[in-house]
Homo-oligomer: A and B are copies of this chain.
Amino acid sequence: MSLDGFIGGPDQSRDNPVGAGGLQLLQWQDSAEDADVAALNELMGPMGAFVMGRNMFGPVRGPWSGDWRGWWGDDPPYHAPVFVLTHHPHDPIEMAGDTTFYFVTDGFEAALERARDAAADKDVRITGGASTVRQAFAATAIDDIYLDIIPVALGRGETVFDGSPGVRFTQLDATHSSAYSHLHYRVGYGSA
């Protein structure tokens, strides 16, 4: 997340998968410092299932066309079922490394329920993008959130916070390298 609270830049496209200026938000993943490596391991840690927005899955808008299979090559870093929110039906896409993309057309809550079933006793990660995280907050479905603070200001972009006054955060952990800070919060809903 940028200093001004954006997890992606504006105007996402095939050439700018994280939006204008957004790739700066991923540079920390190349760091070799302990705190950054630990945060990346946490981010990429094994999960039971994922929920993902269509714009995170790819730049295609409207009805599906071509053979888009995600940004991540043949072996995506998920290694679990990924439930992709879309208004347009699509057959599941089975990738290498146990990642399968399933396409869910009946909304966030339905995708979350399928992800929970698939994950069984493991955790479900809402992996993005911003709109999907906002829907997850609105559904009071987020138990905790990791924010990696990147020292850039984008001015505009995509925010994960829907501003619901009923959402409360409690810091669980904070670490930092020489360049980046990694914050972990418990999320609560309703009055404290």
Contact = CB atoms under 8 A, between A and B. Distances in A.
Interface string A1-26: 01111100000000000000100000
A171 B162 contact: no
B183 A169 contact: no
Interface stretch (A49-57, A66-74, A84-92, A172-180): A172-180
A162 B178 CA distance: 25
Given A176-B174, A181-B181, A3 B152 contact: no
A140 interface: no
A185 interface: yes
A162 B156 CA distance: 9
A189 interface: no
B155 A162 contact: yes
A-side interface size class: 20 to 34
A164 interface: yes
A40 interface: no
B176 A171 contact: yes
Contacts of A153: 161-164, 167, 169
B163 A174 contact: no
Contacts of A154: 163
A6 B161 CA distance: 12
A167 B155 CA distance: 11
Given A5-B6, A171-B176, A176-B176, 19 more contacts: A3-B147, A3-B169, A4-B161, A4-B163, A149-B181, A151-B169, A151-B185, A152-B168, A153-B164, A153-B167, A154-B163, A155-B161, A155-B162, A155-B163, A155-B164, A156-B163, A171-B180, A171-B181, A174-B176
Interface of A: 2-6, 21, 147, 149, 151-156, 159, 161-165, 167-171, 174, 176, 178-181, 183, 185
